């Protein structure tokens, strides 16, 4: 797998990666988890898997690339 392709990920996995970036879980309402880091807010659906377009948008909003996300997802 190349690091530039986004694998199928769950909402819980995405939250774990974003927490490594300093985001904090603010609240959860239904199947959506709200994370914040200062003025940055992400709303992650707690789905398995998260739709590719949604995941890519959240990664972009977090200020990282898909390759960086994949490295954090694998624990590096």
**pLDDT tens figures, 7-16:** 899 999 999 9
Q: Where are the alpha helices (DSSP H) in the chain?
A: 11-20, 52-61, 66-73
Q: In the CATH hierarchy, which fold is given to the domain comprising 11-73?
A: Metal Transport, Frataxin; Chain A (3.30.920)
Q: Which residues pair with 51 in a beta bridge?
A: none
CA–CA separation, 20 and 29 (whole Å): 22
SS3 category, 36: strand
Residue-wise pLDDT tens digits, 36-69: 999 999 999 999 899 999 999 999 999 999 999 9
The yes-or-no verdict on residue 1 having pLDDT over 60 is no
Domain spans in the chain, listed from the N-terminal domain onward: 11-73
64 Cβ contact partners less than 8 Å away, ≥ 6 residues apart: 21, 72
- Say if residues 37 and 22 touch (Cβ distance below 8 Å): yes
């Amino acid at each position: 797998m190349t690091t530039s392709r986004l694998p199928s990920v769950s909402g819980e996995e995405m939250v774990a990666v974003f927490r490594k970036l300093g985001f904090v879980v603010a609240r959860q309402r239904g199947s959506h988890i709200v994370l914040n880091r200062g003025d940055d807010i992400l709303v992650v659906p707690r789905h398995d898997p998260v739709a590719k377009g949604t995941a890519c948008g959240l990664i972009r909003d977090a200020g990282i690339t898909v390759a960086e996300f994949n490295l954090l997802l694998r624990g590096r």
